[in-house]
Amino acid sequence: IGKLTYLGGGIATGDYPPNTQQKEVQRMFETQLADLRKRLDGVVGTDLAGFNRMLKEKNIATVISGGQ
């Protein structure tokens, strides 16, 4: 998140349009973020109940899925 914030801030406050390297890094981060979101959605959609059972067994607060 910090990298995305830094990159976005640098691009938003610059006097010039983003250069090629900045655009490439942005594309790379967008790809990584999309992959991580897909993995998170998979865990929430399929493994959340099992994960919560494991947390309860260890007396740890569970995760609540409220949807989007």
Burial of 50 (0-12, 13-18, 19+ CB in 10 A): exposed
pLDDT digit of tens for each residue in the chain (68 aa)? Answer: 677 677 666 666 667 888 899 899 989 999 999 999 998 888 778 888 888 888 899 998 887 766 55
Whole-model pTM: value is: 0.53
Residue 63 in contact with residue 53, Cβ under 8 Å? Answer: no
